[in-house]
Every structure is written in C-alpha cells, then in structure tokens.
Amino acid sequence: MTLLLNLTAAHAALGRLLDHLRSMLLLATRFYVGWQFWKSGWLKVSSWSSTLDLFRTEYHVPVLPPEIAAVTGASGELFFPALLFLGLFGRVGALGAFFVNAMAVISYRQVLLAEGSEAALGQHVLWGFMLLALAVFGPGRISLDAWLERRNAARCRPSSPAIPA
C-alpha cells in the first residue's frame, strides 16, 4: 500500500510540473494549426483564378455555388487562424477552423478518401483533434482572451473592502 501511495504522490508531482507547460503547449498548438490554414487561405487569395477553377472542377462543396464556396473557404482559412494567433475568441476560432477543415474533407473526399491518400486524410484528422482540444481547453493563459478575462475580473472587484455592518 505504501508503494501505491508513493507512486500516487510522484504522479501528482509530475502532473503539477506538466501543468506549467499547458499554456505553452496551447500556444504552440494554436500557431501550428493556425499556420496550416493561413497558408492555404493565402494561397487561395494570391491565385484567385486557380482557386475558382479548383472550386468549379475539384472541390465539391455541398449546397454552395463554386464562387461563393471559394470566397467562404478562403475567408474562413484566413479569419479563424487570425483569431487563433491572437488567442482572441480562441474557442470560436478553433470551432470555425474545425468546420472549415471538416468541409475540406467533405468537399475533397474523392481524393482524401481514396486509396493511397491516408497521410493526407491523417493530416486533416490531426488538425481536427488539435482544433477540438483548443475548443475544449481554450487558448490558454498566453492569449488575449486570458488578458481580457483578467482585466474584466479586476474591474468587477470592489475597490475597497466591505465594511461590516
């Protein structure tokens, strides 16, 4: 029983040590996954005629006409990563990028689900899990969200201690 208690105490100490890395890990995750989407969005807007051709011929976005799907896709790939980079409305940025990622898989399924494309699909799955983790855990202490929450909490505190009646 003593061995189990000692192992439990060591495990708790390891957890406390790793807790100090949480915000750095969330920051790195925000930047890594945000960069993947930002690059794609930037490529779309920098070569707009090619983007429109791809949306007309390769990407099969359900419901939306190709031109609107192209604008929506490029906008999402630039807007949501910007939120992730800043850590501003980080959960919204993560969920938005998650849905952009899901739409990319749905729209390009004929390639991503084909034999031999497991690695490409695996990247989208990895990004999806990273984005869900950011949505669940938030952007961390190194974010504008955390700064705004601290600032708002400070504004809500009473400036002087309450006087007992």
Lowest mean pLDDT among 31-40, 87-96, 155-164: 155-164
Cα–Cα distance, 143 to 91 (Å, whole number): 11
Query: Above 70 in pLDDT, residue 165?
Result: no
Query: Above 90 in pLDDT, residue 164?
Result: no
Query: Above 80 in pLDDT, residue 62?
Result: yes
pLDDT in tens, 2-56: 999 999 999 999 999 999 999 999 999 999 999 999 999 999 999 999 999 999 9
Q: Are 57 and 104 in contact (CB under 8 A)?
A: no
Closest CA to 30 of 67, 74, 101, 83: 83
Cα–Cα distance, 145 to 59 (Å, whole number): 35
155 falls in which pLDDT band (50, 70, 90)?
Answer: confident
Q: Are 47 and 53 in contact (CB under 8 A)?
A: no
SS3 of the chain: CHHHHHHHHHHHHHHHHHHCCHHHHHHHHHHHHHHHHHHHHHHHHHCHHHHHHHHHHCCCCCCCCHHHHHHHHHHHHHHHHHHHHHCCCHHHHHHHHHHHHHHHHHHCHHHHCCCCCHHHHHHHHHHHHHHHHHHHHCCCCCCHHHHHHHHHHHHHCCCCCCCCC
Q: Are 98 and 128 in contact (CB under 8 A)?
A: yes
Determine if the pTM surpasses 0.85: yes
**What amino acid occupies position 6?**
N
Q: Are 31 and 131 in contact (CB under 8 A)?
A: no
Mean pLDDT of the chain: 94
Closest CA to 146 of 32, 16, 23, 35: 23
